Amino acid sequence: MGSIGNANGAANGSGTPSKAFATLLTKKSYLAGALVLHQSLVENKSAYPLVVFATKELPQDARDILGRRGIHVREIEYLQPPPDKQANLDEHDLRFQDTWTKLRVFEMAEYDRLVLLDSDMLCLRNMDELLEMPLDEGWIAATHACTCNPRKLSHYPSDWVPENCGHTQAKLTTPLAASDFSRPTHDRLNSGAVVLRPSKATFDGIVSFLHTDERVPTYKFPDQDLLADYFKDKFLPISYRYNALKTLRYCHAPMWRDEDVKNVHYILKKPWYYQLPAGDPDYETHSWYVRVGSWWDAYSRLQASWDHESDWDVIEATVNRAERRPDQA
């Protein structure tokens, strides 16, 4: 079948689509995730492309595979705070070291609008409205962070408890409005899905904040905490359905409806790394979705559409099919 790139949205003067979904890749271990995300956007008939923004650390064979799938790779530089602003991350959260680089999405000013998505997501229904919704200059839209701390991790902030979580006050698909924020945690957001308007001015402001703000070394969730503070009064909450953390299904059962979810987010254990036993609390979301099947069903459809056998060997080498739990790469 070869390339199945999305239909382009209206182009700007340079010929680049003016709007797109975007995901960061810094290493090949997330290649399968990005390809399945792209496949799911196409299957749900998105009118907009997916662009991968990648650092030089992404190997050439991965870049070639993305290109043959019709996915544009946009080069960016790695981003980190200066040495005196480096956070001392807990061992549980070393996985966040690369996430500062997600902030580079704001410098992609060749686009009028982007929706930043993590590559450990699966689109279940068309969500092009995120690229078409009203959004003022200098604002972002995102879902609330879940501040329930369901794993009771001791290094999380002490006020991260269910009664303080923004999702606790949500009414099904209607998020808690900014005008109703009443707890300090209500302005915390999850950066897995962020609607934004890129610009040099915004990116320069973010970089300045990264280099100068005294809160940066204290951040537990690097890019996410910075976005919440930088856009503190310019944050538009959107429904959990666009960034449905798999843990919300049991942490916020009164809010969650399977039929409402448009985009599921496989935080923590990734479907392509872990084969979960039936007793695991995340087994359900790793095994469904009623309408489109599981992440693995989407991966199988991706394989069926592939016509470059050597490419598939590269992709398959990044996934785990065994009944074991390898260390997360």
- Provide the residue-wise pLDDT of the chain in tens; the chain has 329 residues: 444 555 556 666 566 679 999 999 999 999 999 999 999 999 999 999 999 999 999 999 999 999 999 999 999 999 999 888 776 655 544 455 678 999 999 999 999 999 999 999 999 999 999 999 999 999 999 999 999 988 888 888 889 999 999 999 999 999 999 999 999 999 999 999 999 999 999 999 999 999 999 999 999 888 999 999 999 999 999 999 999 999 999 999 999 999 999 999 999 888 888 777 777 777 777 776 444 568 888 999 999 999 888 899 999 999 987 654 344 33
Contact partners, residue 83, CB within 8 Å, separation at least 6: none
d(CA 265, CA 218): 25
229 and 264 in contact (C-beta within 8 Å)?
A: no
> Tokens 């935080």 correspond to what residue?
267
- d(Cα 255, Cα 175) in Å, to the nearest integer? 10
Length of the chain: 329
What pLDDT sits at residue 318? 92
- Which domains are delineated in the chain? 19-316 (3.90.550.10)
How far from the centroid of its chain's Cα atoms is residue 275's Cα? Answer: 21
Residue type, 255: M
Taking the model in full, what pTM does it have?
0.90
- Tens digits of per-residue pLDDT, 233-247? 999 999 999 999 999
Output phi, psi for 306, to 5 deg: -90, 140
Task: Give residue 93's identity as a one-letter amino acid code.
Answer: D
Report how far residue 254's alpha carbon sits from residue 63's, in angstroms, rounded to the nearest whole number: 42
CA angle 135-137-142, nearest 5°?
45
- Long-range contacts formed by 72-78: CB under 8 A, 24+ apart: 74/22, 74/108, 76/101, 76/104, 76/107, 76/108, 77/104, 78/26
As a whole number of angstroms, the distance between CA 87 and CA 65 comes to 35
Run of H or E residues at 126: none
Amino acid at 179: S
Question: Please, are residues 168 and 146 in contact by the beta-carbon 8 Å criterion?
Answer: no
